[in-house]
């Protein structure tokens, strides 16, 4: 067993929060209500009680939104295939990475129809991409071994992020973009509150890896540098990208009618491309440094009435 896997297993055995996540992924907590699960997990990780009656901090409000802002339209917005239709309906075509196909199982994938380079990913989870840079040497067996277990994974169970609960597990093939997913990649994550950008986070490096492989710098809507970080270290203030106004426009257009959502984008050859929508950044279990930023960002969220608001499905064109 390699060192990283051994370290991960030790953490699961010794860290109560990680052990809870592991057991949840295996169905151990299936009969526990979302509210009870979130209160226990919050206590273990944040070392304090979760206040759902009068939430104040960013992390508290994200947990509240998991429970009480259950707009069915969100399920489509986190589906990596279906969300492309939403983006096209709002922005017009040309802002999403082109898709080559979507299949219910790995064995249904029509590899003959795919180009020499492509990316495979599950529509319902995060961090499970398989990159093909040369179809002639592509290891199909290894790709199947990686993706098949993820098709069985219910992303909702780990964190009770209900928006993923009813997303149909499928495999999506997309165009391969050489500038994405490497140590030099740049990603623009804009957190929007009621359709207005309140936080700009510029990410550099490889996503879904160790914190050392990625940096994140935070700015306000006017691109003033904000002196805080969460897990990922800062680098230093940078010059405002020339595409920032367009990035803000796109993010705000896609986030209308939503109390809080993060819109991730990329710039490829001068064009702003949509990446994904994230409703609960880092699952809502975030350690801010300094801690006061948990409350400052929390103040930006205006909680809606407790309802499923099914009418919003029609309003969002889904």
Do residue 87 and residue 212 come from a single domain? Answer: yes
Nearest to 177 by CA among 99, 249, 247: 99
End-to-end CA distance of the chain: 46
Res 237: pLDDT: 76
Do residue 191 and residue 305 come from a single domain? Answer: yes
What is the DSSP pairing of strand 196-205 with strand 186-193? antiparallel
More reliable by pLDDT, 280 or 25 = 280
Do residue 190 and residue 133 come from a single domain? Answer: no
Give the pLDDT band (50/70/90) at residue 25: confident
Give the pLDDT band (50/70/90) at residue 307: low
Do residue 12 and residue 134 come from a single domain? Answer: no
Q: What percent of the chain has pLDDT over 90?
A: 76
Nearest to 63 by CA among 53, 72, 73, 71: 53
Do residue 86 and residue 207 come from a single domain? Answer: yes
Q: Strand locations in 62-207, DSSP E?
A: 99-103, 118-122, 130-132, 171-174, 186-193, 196-205
Give the pLDDT band (50/70/90) at residue 170: very high
The pLDDT of residue 55 is above 50: yes
What would the pLDDT profile of 179-222 be if each residue is shown by its tens digit? Answer: 887 788 899 999 999 999 999 999 988 776 677 778 899 999 99
Do residue 233 and residue 318 come from a single domain? Answer: yes
Q: What percent of the chain has pLDDT over 70?
A: 92
**Mean residue pLDDT across the chain:** 90
What would the pLDDT profile of 287-298 be if each residue is shown by its tens digit? Answer: 999 999 999 999
Rounded CA separation 191/204 (Å): 17
Do residue 105 and residue 254 come from a single domain? Answer: no
Q: Within 10 A of 109 (CB to CB), how many other CB atoms are there? A: 20
Rounded CA separation 201/272 (Å): 15
- At residue 231, the 3 state secondary structure works out as coil
Total number of domains constituting the chain = 3
Do residue 159 and residue 185 come from a single domain? Answer: no
Last residue of a domain, one of 150, 174, 198: 174
Do residue 86 and residue 105 come from a single domain? Answer: no
Res 311: pLDDT: 44
Do residue 216 and residue 189 come from a single domain? Answer: yes
More reliable by pLDDT, 62 or 318 = 62
Do residue 22 and residue 44 come from a single domain? Answer: no
Do residue 189 and residue 49 come from a single domain? Answer: yes
Exposure string of 51-90, with b = 16+ CB inside 10 Å and e = fewer, is ebeebebbbbbbbbbbeebbbebbbbbbbbbbbbebbeeb
Q: Is the dihedral of CA 129, 131, 132, 137 positive or negative?
A: negative
The domain of 226 spans 32-96+180-318
The pLDDT of residue 300 is above 80: yes
Res 310: pLDDT: 44
What would the pLDDT profile of 250-261 be if each residue is shown by its tens digit? Answer: 999 999 999 999
The pLDDT of residue 44 is above 90: yes
Last residue of a domain, one of 174, 201, 216: 174
State mean pLDDT over 266-288. Answer: 95
Rounded CA separation 166/72 (Å): 10
pTM of the model: 0.90
């Amino acid at each position: 067993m390699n060192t990283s896997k051994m370290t991960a297993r030790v953490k699961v055995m010794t860290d109560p929060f990680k052990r809870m996540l592991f057991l949840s992924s295996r169905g151990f907590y299936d009969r526990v209500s979302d509210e009870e699960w979130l209160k226990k997990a919050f206590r273990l990780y944040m070392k304090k009680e979760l206040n759902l009656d009068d939430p104040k901090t960013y992390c508290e409000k994200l947990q509240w939104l998991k429970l009480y802002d259950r707009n069915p339209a969100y399920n489509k917005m986190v589906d990596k295939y279906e969300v492309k239709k939403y983006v096209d309906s709002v922005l017009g075509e040309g802002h999403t990475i082109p898709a080559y196909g979507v299949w219910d199982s790995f064995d249904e994938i029509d590899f003959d129809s795919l180009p020499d380079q492509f990316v495979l990913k599950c529509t319902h989870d995060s961090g499970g991409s398989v990159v093909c840079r040369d179809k002639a040497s592509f290891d199909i067996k290894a790709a199947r071994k990686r993706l098949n277990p993820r098709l069985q994974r219910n992303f909702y169970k780990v964190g009770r992020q209900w928006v993923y609960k009813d997303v149909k597990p499928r495999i999506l093939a997309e165009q391969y973009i050489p500038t994405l997913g490497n140590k030099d990649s740049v990603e623009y994550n804009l957190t929007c509150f009621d359709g207005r950008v309140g936080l700009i986070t510029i990410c550099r490096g490889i996503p879904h890896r160790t914190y050392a492989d990625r940096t994140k710098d935070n700015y306000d809507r006017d691109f003033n540098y904000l002196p805080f970080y969460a897990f990922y270290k800062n680098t230093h203030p940078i010059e405002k990208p020339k595409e920032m106004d367009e990035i803000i426009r796109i993010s705000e257009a896609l986030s209308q009618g939503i109390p809080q959502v993060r819109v991730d984008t990329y710039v490829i050859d001068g064009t702003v491309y949509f990446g994904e929508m994230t409703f609960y950044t880092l699952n809502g279990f975030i350690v801010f440094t300094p801690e006061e930023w948990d409350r400052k960002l929390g103040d930006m969220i205006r909680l809606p009435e407790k309802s499923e608001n099914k009418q919003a499905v029609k309003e969002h064109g889904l």
